[in-house]
Structures are given as C-alpha cells and as structure tokens.
Amino acid sequence: MPFDPPRSLSPSKITAFRDCALSFRFSAIDHLPDPPTAWTVKGTLVHSVLERLFWHHEPGSRTIEAARAELEHAWGLLRSDDEYRGLGLDDTEARAFVLDASVLVENYFRIEDPNAVRAVGIELMVEAYVDGVRLRGIIDRLDLTDNGDLIVIDYKTGRAPSAAYEATKMNGVHLYALLCQERLGRRPIQVRLLHLREPAVITAHPTDQTLRGHRRKAVAVWTAIERACADEDFRPRVSPLCRFCAFRPYCPAQGGDLGLAVNREAIRAASQDARLPDPGPNRANPIPAQALPADRRINGTNEIDGTNAVQPLGGRE
C-alpha cells in the first residue's frame, strides 16, 4: 500500500531525504521515535536564550548579563522537560551541559552586538507554495537593515563545516531566503550562519539565479519523495551518519529488522530497551508568539500567513 507523502517540505526534511531516504521515511512518514541527544537539547536551550534576549530586552539592554539571566531562566524550565530528563544526566554531567551552553551563549557576543540588531522576526514561521510544493520553515531571526533590506540569520551550535562543505550547509538558509521572496515579495540580501562553537560567521548573498536553483532542487526532492511513496521504495544510504542514527534497529543495511518499523508494539518494547520515548503523536505544538514592538514589524505585524510561532523546548523544525 503506497505511503502518504508528508504534508509539507522543510529544509530539515530535504536534508534528511538526501542523507538517507529510509531514515527520512522512518522519521517523516512513519513518525518513529527519534530520541533527543545532549547536543540537540543543548541547541534548543541556546536558541531559547537568544530568542528571549530579543523578545524581552530592547536595544541597549541586550547585555551579556541579560543573556546569562535568560540562560538561568531557560535552564530552570528545561530541567523539568521530558526530553531533557530522558537524557539521564547525573549532576556532574548536568553541570557540564549548562556550562557548555553558557560558553555558546557568551560566544554569540563575540560575533555581533545584539544592541545594533534590528530584528523584525524571531522564530518566524514562513510558509509558501512553490511550484505546487508546500515549503515551510522556522527562521531563527529575520533582520532589517537601515536600507530596508532583509537578512536571514540561523544560529548553529555544532561545529562549523570545513570550506569544502560550506556551500552544502547553506542550503537551508537559502531556502529561507526563497520563502521570504515568495511570501514577502523581497529577496534577502544576505543569509548568515552564526556558528557559536568557534565562533564564526558564514555569509552568502542570494541572487535570483541561486534561488531559482534552490527552487528547482526543492521541487526535485519533493518529486523523488512522491515517487518513493508511490513505489514504497525508500532505500538506505550507508554513510558515517549511520553511527548516530536512532533507526539502526530497523535498518537492513545495519543488520536491523525492517519489520519492527511496522509493528508498533515491537517498537514500544525496543524503545524501552533503548531508553527511547514511547511512540505517539507528533508533540510539536507551537506556542503563539507575542507581537514584536511596532517599530520592528513587517507590514505592521510580525505574523506571516498567521502562523508565526515559537517552538516549545524540545521541538524545532
């Protein structure tokens, strides 16, 4: 029986399908449990701190002391979150976890002065139909320059890629630029990855030509997904990423049993052994975001298509 394709396509889904079609199927179509890691939960924590720095502090008050206070607040919330608790960190590991998060937050201030930033969107959900494909994504931050131009900002808490892989890692922010062009009618003049670990900034300048290329690639990926769903043909792709994949118990290329993926009771039992959360409905329930101050809005509102949202701790697109 053919699979139903996902309802929309995001930069993360495009990357997942390109990395491994079978892993994509398990995650985006079968909705198998994909347990969080210390790295992903820490990334969510740092994103939350920087989000709150801009939501709750006006220019002039966005200091490193304010960021530290926001980290303490977000850390207090995170410790009662199921995904963090599922990591099973002991006291020593928890202290190292939050200490490393504080390093990432403080590194942000080595990249830019947040008081000089004019943000018109924080955790901005943008959605558009592009050549019949429903594309959507959450932009970490959308800035407006003094000249009225847009800049897409994406925070990264992992290691910056080598020069050979920089272009590939920019695919997601280029798609955000495409969404801005389709939804707002304005092509951002820059897209930036702020790598907080080094820290380092990777910048690109979208053009009509590059965005046409990313449009074609997105449509091609969607066509391949539809074909794979119709043919029930999602093939594994063996790569170094397999070492970090939560779906190895179901992957034939890793000696797993594909039958487990269609037996939810078996999945539940395997999840208990692997300390994975019980499979269930998608828990990403967006929390409506408060409005930005009037002088930092696009067209009088920070909502695009009525769907601007802040993701809860533990769930990012």
Distance in angstroms between the alpha carbons of the first and the last residue of the chain: 28
- Which pair of tokens denotes residue 273? 């052994």
- Say if CB 130 and CB 218 are below 8 A apart: yes
CA–CA separation, 125 and 10 (whole Å): 11
pLDDT of residue 25: 96
The 10s digit of each residue's pLDDT in 92-123 is 999 999 999 999 999 999 999 999 999 999 99
| Residue 270: band (very low, low, confident or very high) from pLDDT cuts 50, 70, 90 | low
Residue 296 has pLDDT above 80, yes or no: no
Mean pLDDT of 242-262: 91
Residue 18 has pLDDT above 60, yes or no: yes
Residue 161 is predicted with a pLDDT of 86
Specify the pLDDT at position 260.
83
pLDDT score, position 263: 66
Which range (103-117, 217-231, 273-287) has the least confidence? Answer: 273-287
Statement: residue 35 has pLDDT above 60: yes
Task: Using alpha carbons, select from 14, 47, 223 the residue that is nearest to residue 124.
Answer: 47
Are 16 and 23 in contact by the 8 Å Cβ rule? The answer is: yes
**pLDDT, position 280:** 34
19: amino acid identity, one letter: D
Residue 268 buriedness (CB in 10 A; 0-12 / 13-18 / 19+): middle
- The pLDDT of residue 22 is above 90: yes
Contact, 23 vs 245, CB < 8 A? yes
Mean pLDDT confidence for 15-35: 94
Average pLDDT over residues 69-81: 97
Q: Would you tell me how many other CB atoms lie within 10 Å of the CB of residue 90?
A: 8
pTM of the model: 0.82
pLDDT more than 70, % of the chain = 83
Helix (H, G, I), strand (E, B) or coil at 177: helix
pLDDT at 32 over 60: yes
- Residues 214 and 179: beta-carbon distance below 8 Å: no
Q: What percent of the chain lies above the pLDDT cut of 90?
A: 76
What is residue 123's three-state secondary structure? Answer: strand
Residue 302 pLDDT class (50, 70, 90 cuts): very low
Q: What is the mean pLDDT of the chain?
A: 85
Cβ atoms within 10 Å, residue 28: 21
Kindly report, residue by residue over 183-199, the tens digit of the pLDDT: 999 999 999 999 999 99
Tens of pLDDT, residues 123-182: 999 999 999 999 999 999 999 999 999 999 999 999 998 887 888 889 999 999 999 999
